[in-house]
Amino acid sequence: MSDFIRPADVTDAAAIAAIYNHYVEYTAISFEEQAVPVDEMASRISTVLQQGLPYLVAVLDDDVVGYCYATPWKARAAYRYSVEVTVYLKPDAQGRGLGYALYQQLFAALKAAGYHAALGGIVQPNSGSVALHEKCGMTQVALLPDIGFKFGQWHSVGYWQLLL
């Protein structure tokens, strides 16, 4: 791990919830519509870790400023080597290479664990997230037009994939 990236644990739930809930409450980047309570976030972190999947945080000056993790892509057995990946940063931590560093370590951990494909969903438009995913070597493989409804309007989601 780099000096500022470490594995997450449930004690990071409050910091992770604070980062995530900004996107839930003020953007369409997440399709959740209600802020996620800290205990629910702790449960989500625990579930990812119990599945043996990586969950990482970026820490600067003892402050969690970003996180990323992987979840199973789908439940069917044939998908067992594929995961969905997610990265979130505090708004004031964007543009400093933290998302890229988090993803690089996540992808390395996934590859070492034998995973083959990583997919990331991006609500459109989101040029910053698209640029991050493409900088990490991901390519767009799908676009689901008008798939989610939030803040009184329809939103499309694109999927980017990296073969590990």
Element (H, E) at 162: strand 153-163
Name the fold adopted by 5-163: Aminopeptidase (3.40.630)
Over residues 77-89, the pLDDT tens digits come to 999 999 999 999 9
Question: pLDDT value at position 3?
Answer: 82
Question: What are the strands, taking DSSP E only, across the chain?
Answer: 5-7, 55-60, 63-72, 82-89, 117-124, 139-150, 153-163
Task: Tokens for 12, please give them.
Answer: 């990071």
- At 143, the amino acid letter reads L
- Its pTM stands at 0.95
Task: Tokens for 138, please give them.
Answer: 């991901």
Question: pLDDT value at position 56?
Answer: 98
Question: pLDDT value at position 1?
Answer: 57
**In percent, how much of the chain has pLDDT > 70?**
99
Per-residue pLDDT in tens (0 to 9) along the chain, 164 residues: 568 999 999 999 999 999 999 999 999 999 999 999 999 999 999 999 999 999 999 999 999 999 999 999 999 999 999 999 999 999 999 989 999 999 999 999 999 999 999 999 999 999 999 999 999 999 999 999 999 999 999 999 999 999 99
Q: Classify 142 as helix, strand or coil.
A: strand
Q: Classify 19 as helix, strand or coil.
A: helix
Task: Tokens for 105, please give them.
Answer: 């370590």
Domain ranges of the chain: 5-163
89, 19 Cβ separation under 8 angstroms? yes
Over residues 138-151, the pLDDT tens digits come to 999 999 999 999 99
